[in-house]
Structure 1
Amino acid sequence: MRNPLQEQLLKAGLAKKGKVDQIAREQAKQRQGKAPASAPAEKVDTQRLQAERAERDRALAAERNAQAQARELAAQIRQIVEANKVKREGEISYRFTDGDKIHSVLVNEALKAQLAKGSLVVVRSGDGYELLPRAAAEKVRERDASAIVLDHGQPGEHQLQSEDDEFYAQFKVPDDLIW
């Protein structure tokens, strides 16, 4: 079963009969589905590439899920803060630290006393700060503890924690000192 081109090459003397027969046999094998021995190596490479692609897709999906969960927690915190925030009013500047910076909120005497007792908590809300009752602050703490900036009601928070604290504990601070 030779094609017309092979017949012409044989008549012109440009090809040998053995070479034409060998090419015809290889073409017949290919048509019947008998692949050469190099196919398993290609198949292994293809499977390896598919496995790598699947692993990369799983990693991307996990990252997207984590980001979506973080956005969901942030939205829940925002909703809790908006629903439970205490209206701030007054002329007294209540100062607290957030990281390395000192911030302040304006409160009245009653709010200041509640903050000092620990029944109110200062929570980071967007670019500002809000006052929340303890129950709402616990809900926020369950979702993201780093959103709570100031909480005087936490047990063990005021305990001395280093040698320096022990040294300075012997010096009494006047009750009327406001920083």
Structure 2
Amino acid sequence: MSISLRDQLLKAGLVNEKQAKQAGKEKQKQQRLAHKGQIELDDTQQRLAAEAKAEKVKRDQELNRQQQEKVEQKARAAQIKQLIEVSRLPKLNTEDYYNFVDDKKVKRLSVNTLMRNKLANGSLAIVQHQGGYEVIPREAALKIQERDPRRIVQLNILVESKTPEEDDPYAAYQIPDDLMW
């Protein structure tokens, strides 16, 4: 069983019985006057404690928000990784390359003619994945772009296949398929 502070001070000899009784009477008098409204109690300790508690709650909320943000970032990264791994096209080993710019550097990717045309007209996109580049369909690239636009290296504007107009004066002059720019 714990002993009150008053009893501990008496036992240690720091105060005598008369001083302890006088302190108790003074405390009761202060409480009576405060209860009647004649005197205001010194509530600085209570106010400081309340401010400290409010500050601690605010700090805890900020930490919780930061932790939640980190969890959401990890979830987005996992979703992006899954989208890329599920929808990526197989790597090709051809002598035909598609050149693109990433971070002011020209990179190249091995492609075939169909992939080159689809990359050019926006049906396919190039994304960064695990230190390399992957080719994925446009729909997956748009989903990735919602989560992290920095991962998209190249996503051209979707262009539907052009059919020559009837009044086009150059309709008879088609661009040859083997012409490389």
TM superposition score normalised by structure 2: 0.67
In the alignment, what sits opposite 1:55? 58
Match of 1:25 among 6, 15, 22: 22
Q: Deviations over 1:25-75 (max 9, x none)?
A: 21355589949943x100100110111111011011111111111111111
Q: How far apart, in 2, do the equivalents of 1:99 and 1:44 lie?
A: 55
Q: How far apart, in 2, do the equivalents of 1:111 and 1:136 lie?
A: 16
Call closer, same or farther: CA 1:33–1:107 in 2, change over 3 Å. farther
For the Cα contact (< 8 Å) 2:88–2:135, is it kept in 1?
yes
Match of 2:120 among 96, 103, 116: 116
1:142 Cα deviation after fit: 2.2
Q: How far apart, in 1, do the equivalents of 2:136 and 2:107 lie?
A: 17
Q: Deviations over 1:106-147 (max 9, x none)?
A: 112221122112111001112111100112112212222222
1:24 Cα deviation after fit: 2.1
In the alignment, what sits opposite 2:72? 69
Q: How far apart, in 1, do the equivalents of 2:110 and 2:29 lie?
A: 87
In the alignment, what sits opposite 1:125? 129
Match of 1:94 among 95, 98, 103: 98
For the Cα contact (< 8 Å) 2:121–2:158, is it kept in 1?
no
Q: How far apart, in 1, do the equivalents of 2:85 and 2:132 lie?
A: 12
For the Cα contact (< 8 Å) 2:101–2:107, is it kept in 1?
yes
TM superposition score normalised by structure 1: 0.67
In the alignment, what sits opposite 2:110? 106
Unaligned runs of 5+ in 1: 7-18, 156-174
The percentage of counterpart residues that share the same residue type is: 28
Secondary structure of the residue that 1:46 maps to in structure 2? helix
In the alignment, what sits opposite 2:154? 150
Unaligned runs of 5+ in 2: 1-6, 11-15, 35-39, 160-178
